[in-house]
Amino acid sequence: MNQNPAELKSWVKYAPESDFPIQNLPYGIFDDGKGGPRAGVAIGDFVLDLALICEKNLFEGTGLEGNPFREHRLNAFMEQGRSVWRAVRNRITELLSEHSSQIRDDHALRDRALVPIENVALRKPVYIPSFVDFYSSEQHATNVGKMFRPDNPLMPNWKHLPVGYNGRASSIVPSGISVQRPMGQTMPEGAETPIFGPSKRLDYELEMGFFTGKRNPMGACISTTEVEDFLFGMVIVNDWSARDIQKWEYQPLGPFLAKSFATSISPWIVTFDALEPFRTMGPKQQPPVLPYLQCEKPWAFDIKLEVSIRTSKMDAYQKLCSGNFKTMYWNVAQQLAHQAVNGTNVQVGDLYASGTISGDSPDSLGCLLELTQGGRSPIQLTSGETRTFLEDGDSLLMKAWCEGDGFRIGFGELEGTVQPAQ
């Protein structure tokens, strides 16, 4: 599609501020209580039922094999590769564009194919074999580093490689699923022996993550020019974190139970094709990186971010921070090239999260640990309450969107509520 995205219009009506205009078309798995969970794309206030569109042979000529949209995860579609992703996206764009009559004028088909978004439950969109979490914001790494090492916040490796760790894939949940406060072992300040109990310093982390849609054979690496074929799309990630458990367990091997109890993702996967107009330069990397991490193209994306909180005493969400994904020091191409440089076999459906996204200003810090300076400066809420870390009943809301010329590429909402420990 070489058309200027601002000129694209759909026969499906939606407000200009909709997260899901025809320029977006994010993939998700929806369940309308009829016919089982299946794949769709969001368009305005509707979900376009891709399983049905495929059944009607409307993807003919795209190279799509079978009907992967009947599956309750997107992996079977992702496996078909970048040329099919492109062709299918172009066909959906064509079918929904204002001059196309195929669905628009077939009323019986149109009524079945467009399911009101308010009538569906959104499922985890992908079976996720592996989950990696990076640590790619210089501001976040510096702020957190300062708490532990005031004179030497960034470790000597930090500007030479995108630091990351292997996370827990099985506890990744979609938006709307509550998260239980974890139990664990902590070492209270001044104590000599650890205690066991509910975490008292439960935090969120604002992150973005990308899914890979192609596998490489074990032993083969992926260059920063080859990553394009692997990158399927992005979601918002909330990496729930128990700071007190983390502080006691993290040395010498890094995060473990402080992170593995839950990670939330937004339900719609925004494709890299939809993000293309928002590709931009990231921060200058100094010192220069090793050749395998050098990129020909800019690989940052201008994605605006916002986090809000609502306690059980509040009627509405209150903003905690706003930021932008383009501030990340390490980009998605470098993260994937680094993951595979030792010959790791990347899989279809792997999730790679960015690490907490923090900016330069005090209102652009992506977690409570930073916003409250380790719990020393409580946040004042409109309800009269204060927060250092999350309490039971608190809900977190994360939003992400790209601002286009007359349209926005939205990620929808990622919401989660803290339940008491059990």
Residues that bind Ca ion (CB under 5 A): 133, 205, 239
Tell me whether residue 169 or residue 314 sits nearer to Ca ion (CB atom).
Answer: 169
Give the residue among 121, 128, 101 at the shortest CA–CA distance from 28.
121
Q: Which is nearer to Ca ion, 239 or 394 (CB)?
A: 239
Q: Where are the beta strands (DSSP E) in 333-407?
A: 351-353, 379-380, 386-387, 395-403
**Catalytic residue list contains 140:** yes
The least CB distance from residue 279 to Ca ion, in Å, is 24
- Least separation, in Å, of the C-beta of 168 and Ca ion? 12
Question: Are residues 68 and 76 in contact, defined by beta-carbon separation less than 8 angstroms?
Answer: yes
Give whichever of 12 and 206 is closer to Ca ion, judged by the CB atom.
Answer: 206
Taking the complex as a whole, the smallest distance from the CB of residue 163 to Ca ion amounts, in Å, to 11
Active-site residue among 72, 99, 140, 338?
A: 140
Amino acid at 317: Y
Cβ proximity to Ca ion, 271 vs 364, nearer residue: 364
First to last CA, the chain: 52
> If you search the block for the tokens 């006691």, which residue do you land on?
248
CA atoms within 13 A on the CB side of 360: 4
- In the complex with Ca ion, the residue whose CB is nearer, 243 or 387, is 243
Q: How far apart are CA 80 and CA 291, in angstroms?
A: 30
Q: How far apart are CB 381 and Ca ion at their closest, in Å?
A: 24
Q: Is the CB of 239 or the CB of 415 nearer to Ca ion?
A: 239
| Range list of H helices, 221-367 | 243-249, 257-260, 272-275, 332-340
Cα torsion at 255, 257, 261, 266 (round to 10°)? 0
Tell me the residue number closest to Ca ion, measured at CB: 239
In the complex, minimum distance from the CB of residue 283 to Ca ion, in angstroms, rounded to a whole number = 19
**DSSP state, 84?**
H
Q: How far is the CB of 174 from Ca ion (least distance, A)?
A: 18
DSSP string, 93-150: HHHHBTT--TTTT-HHHHHHHEEEGGG-EEEP-S--S-EEEE---HHHHHHHHHHH-T
- Alpha carbon distance 118, 121 (integer Å): 8
Residues recognised as catalytic: 140
